[in-house]
Amino acid sequence: MSTYNRTEVEEWIAHDPSKETQEELTTLLAHAEAGEAEAVKELSDRFQGPLTFGTAGLRGAMAAGPHRMNRAVVRRAAAGLVAYLKEKIGENALLVVGNDARYHSREFAEDTAAIAHAAGIRALIMPRQLPTPLLAFAVRALGADAGVMVTASHNPAADNGYKVYLGGRLTDEWGQGVQLVPPSDAEIAAKIAAAPFADEIPLSEGYGFVEEAIIDEYVRTTASLVPAEYSRDLTIVYTAMHGVGEPIFRRVIEAAGFTNIIEVEEQCSPDPDFPTVPFPNPEEVGALDMAKALAAKVNADIVIASDPDADRCSAAVPFEGGWRQLSGDDIGSLLGEYMAGVNEGKAQATFASSIVSSRLLSRIAENHNLAYTSTLTGFKWIARAPHIAFGYEEAIGFCVNPDAVRDKDGISAGLLLAFLAAKLRDEGSSLVGELDRLYTTHGVYLSGPVTVRVDDLSIIPATMAKVRSVPPTELAGSPVVKIVDLSEGSEDLPPTDGIAWWTEADDRVIIRPSGTEPKVKCYLEVIVPVEDDLETAKAAAASRLKAFKADIAAALKL
């Protein structure tokens, strides 16, 4: 039943520092008080409680009220983070703040820096809207104790977020410049809950700015990942997906020697409305259509796409007269094989990927005598793997230079994909050909998602309860032989809400709620050894994955 406390709503309005959201909430309250059912429902939702501080910070729709992203919520979050820094470090703590190009991102970033400065904390803000990897880089390069990136990454246009990184004196060497994890998130959340009303939090505009030299250093460091001995004769089509990636990507890829970069003009300038895509996520069906059409027109060798904050990277390549978009696992395997060669023989060098990513990376690491570790989903876990040399997650996130950026970085990943495409072409192969070589060596590892997007959030726990209580006995024609409830944790993994099923054929599915979107996500993988010929094995894997998806979809139905 929809309910709200009028006194609580009026108190929030009285202390909201933004006239825009004050007026929005005042109007909504008037409609609710007049008995309009939709207004009552909306107001109840906005005041169901505070926006949860988790998944490395805050994320939600931009609107008025405590359960939305707005200036009042962000100011209290900043005050809580600053109180945490002062308690742990003192007034000489250093906070670095960045932002993307979404609506209100810059004002949220400026408020954060101003609150930190007013509290006596040293605060530096990025000089303009820049990709998330630049903020992660700056935290490490400056030895900052914490960083804040205002971004909702690839979420819909209505959303924004507040991502927190720790470094300096707040974490060990493996957590420097990595998104925060427990117990820090709960400790900061407690400080936020104790923060005063938003309009009572002092602000001061005397904060500083991150110098251009840091941005230049990122460009140099990233461009240097590409060795000199390769052909640069490659035609690249690039899309920034209406985000902030274009200026830095162009600087990096040109510094590495590539000159023929053709941009999808309609998508390469920041636009917080994301007008040409329903969802600004390169993984979504149709998101790369404009880029692929341009690539066909100019006879390009590769399409590279960044998501709006450029921490993720997707790609498409010519294939059988059209264009094939590479999956996150495809890219992770290709970059992993290359990085394994770079790191072969290095003591303690470790590869890491999330439990929902393809198991092929573990085979690649083993083949190169490198250590491998599997982590929980999210780069806050992947990037803090000790001695990490390469890490990825299937949701097109890749860490190819952890000494510089201990997070996913779509700029450096895009650069290395371009390099690999050029290198393999010189060798008479291609990115698809290299995948086939890996399959021939290790077996065909084929993965695919089953996703349930919901409007009613109660469906998510109900679905998870069902898969726990009524597991299938068979999937894709093979008996289920192992069930692991990830909420129980293990020696290697902290508890998380998810369940994993394995079959006798070594097929695997992991089912979990999304941490950032209203979805239940299922990650499927089948493995087929190459016994006779590769094409037969690939066809068998595709057939089995199709049956696997159908069985999982049936298992999810309430």
CA 202, 205, 211, 214: dihedral to nearest 10 degrees? Answer: 20
The domain made up of 212-442 has a fold known as Alpha-D-Glucose-1,6-Bisphosphate; Chain A, domain 3 (3.40.120)
| Mean model confidence pLDDT for the chain | 95
Indicate the pLDDT class of residue 456, thresholds 50, 70 and 90: confident
Indicate the pLDDT class of residue 54, thresholds 50, 70 and 90: confident
| Helices marked H in 203-245 | 212-223
* Distance in angstroms (rounded) separating the CA atoms of residues 402 and 391: 8
Which residues are within 8 A (CB) of 310 and not within 5 positions of it... i.e. 6 or more apart?
A: 131, 132, 133, 240, 243, 244, 245, 248, 249, 410, 411
* Distance in angstroms (rounded) separating the CA atoms of residues 177 and 214: 15
Mean pLDDT of 79-84: 98
- Which of 91-105, 320-334, 447-461 has the least mean pLDDT? 447-461
Query: Would residue 153 show up in a list of annotated catalytic residues for this protein?
Result: yes
| pLDDT greater than 90 at residue 230 | no
| Helices marked H in 452-531 | 459-469
Query: Residue 56: what pLDDT?
Result: 72
Q: Which helix (H) or strand (E) holds 483?
A: strand 478-485
| pLDDT greater than 80 at residue 379 | yes
DSSP E strand boundaries for 347-473: 350-354, 371-375, 388-393, 397-399, 444-453
Is the Cβ–Cβ distance between 201 and 77 less than 8 Å? Answer: no
Residue ranges per structural domain of the chain: 1-48, 53-210, 212-442, 444-556
Catalytic residue among 18, 153, 333, 354: 153
Mean pLDDT of 425-435: 96
| pLDDT greater than 80 at residue 2 | no
Q: Place domain 444-556 in its CATH homologous superfamily.
A: Alpha-D-phosphohexomutase, C-terminal domain (3.30.310.50)
First-to-last C-alpha distance (Å) of the chain? 22
| pLDDT greater than 70 at residue 55 | no
Residue 355 tokens read as 């439990």
| pLDDT greater than 90 at residue 420 | yes
Long-range contacts of 322-327 (CB under 8 A, 24+ apart): 323/288, 323/292, 323/295, 323/296, 324/432, 325/288, 325/292, 326/431, 327/394, 327/447
Query: Residue 1: what pLDDT?
Result: 59
- State percent of the chain over pLDDT 90: 91
Classify 448 in phi/psi space as left (phi over 0), alpha (psi -120 to 50) or beta. beta
Q: Which helix (H) or strand (E) holds 170?
A: none
DSSP E strand boundaries for 100-220: 122-125, 146-150, 159-166, 178-179, 208-209
| pLDDT greater than 80 at residue 528 | yes
* Distance in angstroms (rounded) separating the CA atoms of residues 316 and 330: 11
Mean pLDDT of 225-251: 95
Residue closest to 520 by CA, chosen among 474, 467, 469: 467
- Biggest CA–CA distance in the chain, Å, is 73
Query: Residue 457: what pLDDT?
Result: 81
Query: Residue 490: what pLDDT?
Result: 85
| pLDDT greater than 70 at residue 143 | yes
| pLDDT greater than 70 at residue 558 | no
Query: Residue 455: what pLDDT?
Result: 83
Phi, psi for residue 87 in degrees, rounded to 5: -70, -40
Fold match flag (212-442 vs 444-556): no
Indicate the pLDDT class of residue 256, thresholds 50, 70 and 90: very high
Query: Residue 409: what pLDDT?
Result: 98
Is the Cβ–Cβ distance between 161 and 58 less than 8 Å? Answer: yes
| Helices marked H in 458-533 | 459-469
Mean pLDDT of 434-440: 98
Query: Residue 514: what pLDDT?
Result: 83
Indicate the pLDDT class of residue 548, thresholds 50, 70 and 90: very high
- Which of 267-271, 288-292, 492-496 has the least mean pLDDT? 492-496
| pLDDT greater than 80 at residue 148 | yes
Mean pLDDT of 139-158: 97
Residue 451 tokens read as 């996703």
Is the Cβ–Cβ distance between 417 and 335 less than 8 Å? Answer: yes
DSSP string spanning 244-293? S-HHHHHHHHHHTT---EEE-GGGSS--TT-TT-SS--TTSTTTTHHHHH
- Selecting from 3.40.1710.10, 3.30.160.250, 3.40.120.10, 3.30.470.10, what CATH number does the domain 53-210 have? 3.40.120.10
- 3-state DSSP of 33-95: HCCCHHHHHHHHHHCCCCCCCECCEEEEEECCCCCCECHHHHHHHHHHHHHHHHHHCCCCCEE
Place of tokens 């050894």: 529
Mean pLDDT of 513-530: 90
- Tell me the three state secondary structure of residue 485: strand
